[in-house]
Every structure is written in structure tokens, then in C-alpha cells.
Structure 1
Amino acid sequence: MTETLVVDASIAVKWVVEEEGTPLALGLRHGRRFAAPELLIVECANILWKKVQRGEVSREEAKMAASLLERSDIELFGMRGLLAKATVLATDIGHPAYDCMYVCLAMSRNCRFVTADERLVRVLHQKAPREIANLCVTLEQLSAGSD
């Protein structure tokens, strides 16, 4: 059975823009399926905008990256059913709710959540219930085969 991973924008952008962690992120693409809340679209657009503002990519490169992401095989899910759970998790762990949307989607889909945000995974492992924390891994952990 093919594993499904919930991915956030920190992973998705690495698939289309060369940056630290891109080789590891590309390595995830083999033999897996991907899911994310629709929030991913807005977060990716914002990351690409920031990269243009910082001079890391050109406007055209950002546009191409956005087009590639729009055509990607990430299955997007609505957030309406996640709002209450993400709000509770965010208040329980003291972390922004938008990141908690990804975690709650992983919980609802019974799959793992992978992110390049090591701080988020650390906070989850310190403050979230074990059944939630165990679903969450960093890009480096997953690439190394660590669960």
C-alpha cells in the first residue's frame, strides 16, 4: 500500500525551488502520495512572494514555481472540518493555528505529517499528546528512516 504523507509549504516549495533540503524533499516523491489542507496554496504563494522580495528568485521563476505547484499531485482538502481541532491544538501547544491545520489533517487521514520546520516538530513532541506527536516528523528524520 502506498503511504500518504501530509506535507506543508516548507516541503512543497522545496520541490519547485532549489534551496536547503531540496534533495531530501525530492527524495520523498518516490512511491508516496501527498495531501495538504487548501491553506497550502496561500502559504506557497506567500513563500514565493518573499523569495522574490529577497532577490532569491525572479518574478518569472516564482510564477513558474507556482504553476508547477498548481499542477502537482498534492491532494488538497478543505479546512472546515479541521477548524475546531486546529484551534484547540494551537492553544494547547502555544503554536500558530495555521501549522496545526496540517497536523489535524494528518490526524483525520491517519497518516504522517512531514515538515522542514524542526521547531514545530519539537514543540509537538514536547507539548502535544503522544498520539499526535508520533504522526509528526521532520524532513531529515523521514529521509533518514527515523520515525
Structure 2
Amino acid sequence: MNPGYVIDASVALTWLLPGEETPQTLQLRDRAVDNTLIELFVPPTFWYEVANVLWVAVRRSRISQHEAAEALDSLLGFKFTVCPADPINCLTLSIAHNLAVYDSAYLCLAMEYQVPLWTVDNALVKAANRLNIPVEPLPVTRV
């Protein structure tokens, strides 16, 4: 069985937005290209989070509409395992850890599948640590 990870939108966005990549996130991306090496779990909201950040990047003239569409299309080429997270558990974690419900979905999946969480979101790292969820925080040092 391949090792698995829950990957949050913040990591995927480092692959898509210029200047956001780190050596660690690029290494994960390279491993994810060959889906025989690892399995990546995401909640259904992952796609909307990524698309929303790309939309904001277009609105702020950081990238063009064409670049946003290409970025999202490139991400669709990855083999993510989309898994729903229990909404009651997500709400409970959100209240307990002061997180958005869609962020708590990543924690729920990591607990359910007993896999590490990959994130560059400090709030998620802190909550995961409090919950004893294996987490591999990815430093924000740029390439």
C-alpha cells in the first residue's frame, strides 16, 4: 500500500502560483505526478478553495484568466482521492480550534484515514498538533 497524505489547498496552490513554491512542496508535487508513489486525499471543497484563490489572483492581476484556467486544468491531471468529511465532526473541530469548517475537513480526513496532513497553513498545523494528527509542516522558504 502506498503512503497517503491529506493535502490542503495551500500546498496545491504553491504548485500553481508564481513565487509560492518551496523545495518541499515541489518535492511533493513531483511525487504526486507519479500516483503510484503516494495517495493524496482531499475533501470535495478542495477544488472550490483552489479555484477561489485563483479567481482572487486574477482579480488582483497577479495572473491572467488564461493562466488561472491552465493552472486549474493542470491540477485536475493529478489523481486525488476525493473523500467527504463528516460535517458534524468538521463543525465540532471548527468550534474547538477556531477554524473555518472547510479547513477542519482536512483534519477530519487525516484522522479518518490515519495519514499525515501536508499544509503550509500555520493554523492547521497548530490544530493538528493539538489533536495528535501527524503533520508535516512545509516551511514557507521560497525557492
TM-score interval w.r.t. the shorter chain? Answer: 0.7 to 0.9
The answer to whether the Cα contact below 8 Å between 2:128 and 2:134 also exists between their aligned partners in 1 is no
The alignment's TM-score, normalised by the length of structure 2, stands at: 0.83
Contact 2:9 2:50 in 1 (8 A): yes
How far is 1:95 from its partner?
1.8
- Residue among 58, 72, 75 paired with 2:78: 72
**Aligned-pair Cα RMSD in Å:** 1.9
TM-score (normalised: structure 1): 0.81
Structure 1 contact 103–136 (Cα < 8 Å) conserved: no
Rounded to whole Å, the distance in 1 between the matches of 2:18 and 2:24 is: 11
Counterpart residue number, 1:134: 133
> Match for residue 144 of structure 1?
none
Letter in 1 for 2:134: L
**Pairing 1:11–2:17 present:** no
> 1:122: Cα distance to partner?
2.2
Residue pair 1:6, 1:36 contacting (<8 A) in 2 also: yes
Give the 3-state SS of the residue equivalent to 1:133 in structure 2.
Answer: coil
Which consecutive unaligned segments of at least 5 residues does structure 2 have? 32-36
Q: Is residue 102 from structure 1 mapped to residue 106 from structure 2 by the alignment?
A: yes
Query: What is the alpha-carbon distance in structure 1 between the residues aligned to residue 22 and residue 71 of structure 2?
Result: 13
Alpha carbons 2:111, 2:133 under 8 Å: kept:
no
Superposed structure 1 runs of 4+ greater than 3 Å apart: none
The equivalent residue for 1:43 is 49
Residue-pair matches, total: 134
